[in-house]
């Protein structure tokens, strides 16, 4: 069962429909409710490899749904510390719980100042209302 629409206030959002949970000098990343809802049921997650460096605004993986294949865009730059293998095995976790069990990667931030460029929940909600 797909999750209900939500944009948790404790997260920060990128205009490419990715979220970041900042935890000190690390961040957990995933795709937003809006992204997973637009894509439909996810059937595959092409994950990056731990140790890979990702850069703000560039693709670091792909999600495939019954509708399309889409790049996952990095909302922040850093080194991938961990990949959520549960999502690799069961991509539908992103549909069921995009901000919990459906997270995609954990990174060590290479430029913490990038966090200031992300949207808060209210600003992201206003942004998607314009889409």
The CATH number of whichever domain residue 63 belongs to comes to 2.40.50.100
Q: Is residue 35 part of a domain?
A: yes
Q: How many domains does the chain have?
A: 1
pTM of the model: 0.95
Residue 122 lies in a domain: yes
- Structural domain span for residue 106: 12-129
Query: Is residue 103 included in any domain, yes or no?
Result: yes
What's the pLDDT band for 3 if we cut at 50, 70, 90?
A: confident
- Say if CB 13 and CB 119 are below 8 A apart: yes
Instruction: Indicate whether 111 belongs to any domain.
Output: yes
The pLDDT of residue 44 is 96
Q: What is the pLDDT of residue 1?
A: 54
Mean pLDDT computed over every residue of the chain: 95
| Residues composing the chain | 131
Sign (positive/negative) of CA torsion 118, 79, 99, 102?
positive
Q: Please spell the DSSP secondary structure of the chain, one letter per residue.
A: -PPPP---TTSEEETTTEEEEEETTEEEEEE-HHHHHHH-SEEEEE---TT-EE-TTSEEEEEEESS-EEEEEPSS-EEEEEE-HHHHH-THHHHH-TTTTT--EEEEES-GGGGGGSB-HHHHHHHHHT-
Structure confidence by residue, pLDDT tens digits, 103-112: 999 999 999 9
* Structure-block tokens of residue 114: 């990038």
At 2 the pLDDT is 67
């Amino acid at each position: 069962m797909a999750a209900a629409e939500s944009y948790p206030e404790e997260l920060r959002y990128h205009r490419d429909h990715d979220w970041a949970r900042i935890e000190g000098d690390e961040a957990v990343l995933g795709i937003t409710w809006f992204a997973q809802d637009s894509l439909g049921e996810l059937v595959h997650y092409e994950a990056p490899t731990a140790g890979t460096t990702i850069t703000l605004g560039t693709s670091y993986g792909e999600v495939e749904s019954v509708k399309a294949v889409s790049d996952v865009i990095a909302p922040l730059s850093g080194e991938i510390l961990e990949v959520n293998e549960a999502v690799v095995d069961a991509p539908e976790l992103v549909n069921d719980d995009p901000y919990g069990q459906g997270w995609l990667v954990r990174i060590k931030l290479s430029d913490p100042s990038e966090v200031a460029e992300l949207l808060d929940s209210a600003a992201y909600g206003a942004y998607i209302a314009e889409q």
